[in-house]
Amino acid sequence: MAGASIRRWGLGALGWLAWAALVPSFAAAQGAQILWLASGPETPAQVDALAVELAARGAAVRFTARPPGATVGVRADAARSIARAQGADAALWLEPEADGSRSVRAAAVDSELTAWAPIPIGADARVLALIAVSVLDDLLAEPAPATPEVTIHLRVPAGRRLATPSPPPEVAATEAAPREVLSLPGVARGPQARDLYLELGASFAVVAGGGTFAAGFYPHPNVRLDFRARATYVWIADLLGTAFTTGLAYVTDDDDGRFEAGIDAGAIVTESNATVAGALVGGFVGLSWEVWSRGRFGVRLTGAVAYMEEVATPSGILDAYLQVMP
């Protein structure tokens, strides 16, 4: 919520800055006298920046204490009264907001009009001065002249009729051609049916470690078929072997990354005899993130059971990998 609030205040401030750049300054045209009611935390740089911006528009600025009052409306009435008593055309002050930011407020002396604009958190003195001047320009702008009302009366002589206009010709409706959806380079997208992938990574376990290579494809955007070779060295047994597995995974994308969950199974081949020495069965979950348009970095945790020489050995395997979709 804090991020959304900051973005909302930032966009509002940018709109006020654009207004200040495009609309002529009414304060300059009227030679307005502005009373700045300081709230206390203003810095000398902010005060100087406001004085410079107003002077550039032909307006003069004076300073006094912040208006009293428990609510915004009460402070606006107090600021208007103080400015009127000191012969100013408008009062200007800062209001604290509920989210920790501030806003610029202005009140006209000769009317009940007020204007305001948000100040983005972290805005420098120059930005604050431009927002303040744009609020004054909006407050002191002369109202647009009223559009004159024109009434037309038609008098038709007796016995005559007004010609009825012919209806427009009918146009046969044509079916719109289907639009082609373009896939722009560099734009992230989820996997599509028949997409291929290649994967290279490292595997870690409590008593073993090694590398992993995988390839596969997506028969459906949410289903992935894996073919994986995981070469592992078990240092407590001085054993080197490779597990060749086939897996099936469910895959889904959201704002936090790509989640996967699945199962795999296959054969274990040891270096000593280069024959099938056992089997590996497991299930896995993982999460990956896009690092470029067709490449991802991910981590995967596999819980597996290795069956070798009639002994079942459970283990946990952590993979860190890079995955490319050519």
Which CATH number does 196-324 carry? 2.40.160.20
Please report the pLDDT score of residue 177 as a whole number.
57
Q: Is it the case that residue 280 has pLDDT exceeding 60?
A: yes
Q: Is it the case that residue 198 has pLDDT exceeding 70?
A: yes
The domain limits of the chain are: 2-140, 196-324
Please report the pLDDT score of residue 39 as a whole number.
61
How many whole angstroms from its chain centre is CA 54?
Answer: 35
Burial (CB count within 10 angstroms: exposed 0-12, middle 13-18, buried 19+), residue 229:
middle
Q: Is it the case that residue 275 has pLDDT exceeding 80?
A: no
Average per-residue pLDDT in the chain?
78
Q: Is it the case that residue 165 has pLDDT exceeding 80?
A: no
Give the angle 252-254-256 at the CA atoms, nearest 5°.
120
Range of weakest confidence among 57-61, 90-94, 141-145: 141-145
- The DSSP H or E segment spanning 283 is strand 276-292
Cα distance between residue 40 and residue 26, in whole Å: 28
Q: Is it the case that residue 317 has pLDDT exceeding 80?
A: yes
The tokens 């810095």 sit on which residue? 43
Please report the pLDDT score of residue 249 as a whole number.
94
Please report the pLDDT score of residue 294 as a whole number.
82
pLDDT, tens only, 17-48: 443 443 444 443 356 788 888 765 567 788 78
Which CATH number does 2-140 carry? 3.40.50
